[in-house]
Amino acid sequence: MEFRLIYEGPLRGQGAKSAHKWDIRRALHPQLQRLWQTRPLVDAAPTLLAHPAKPKAVSLIVEKGGRLFAPLVTQRLNLYAEVSVLLFRQQPRGTLITDGGDIDNRLKTLLDGLRVPHGSMEGQLEDANAPDPAPFFCLLEDDSLVTKVSVESEQLLRPAAADEVVAIISVHVKKTVLTTANLSL
């Protein structure tokens, strides 16, 4: 299965706060939710997104701190991901370490934003005006399920803050083992 996600907004490097990673998750959630409404995921959704799990079935729902997350790439389905990022940023080509953050640390922040949080809240701030959806769709159960990453950097040719990016994230989901649970993916 292959698809693309788009993230537009700030992308901080080293020292990025956990709340920033929640902002990335929130920005990508609607795209992943829509992906689950298309084939082949829409056919598997009633079983894979059931909470609690149906008898003798695999559910992808993960509970953390009372919140429900639905990662697509999980060990339970024997899936892993290869990720390629086209990163448009303010800095011109060749300036890898800048005031906007160096590419490798910004990439780590992005990958953290693609996964289910490790702790119950992992820095998420309560905002009564913006409750998190249930389930909260994420790409990865854990960023260790990414086996290949590539990044191409281009200059963003529109006015923007130093840390603002447009990231086109190409995802290739692969299987380690073919099972009845992941057959349609």
For residue 133, whether the previous peptide bond is cis, meaning omega lies within 30 degrees of 0, is no
Residues 85/151, Cβ–Cβ less than 8 Å: yes
- C-alpha pair distances (Å), 159 with each of 118, 151, 154: 35, 22, 14
For residue 85 the two structure tokens come to 């990022």
pTM over 0.85: yes
**2-16, 60-74, 93-107, 145-159: the lowest-pLDDT one:** 93-107
Predicted pLDDT at 82 = 98
Q: Which residue has the higher pLDDT, 159 or 102?
A: 159
Predicted pLDDT at 128 = 47
Predicted pLDDT at 133 = 85
- pLDDT-derived band at 104 (thresholds 50, 70, 90) equals confident
Task: State mean pLDDT over 146-159.
Answer: 94
Q: How confident is the model over 14-26, as pLDDT tens digits?
A: 777 888 999 999 9
Residues 155/69, Cβ–Cβ less than 8 Å: no
CA count, 13 A, side-chain hemisphere, 63: 7
What's the one-letter identity of residue 101? Answer: G
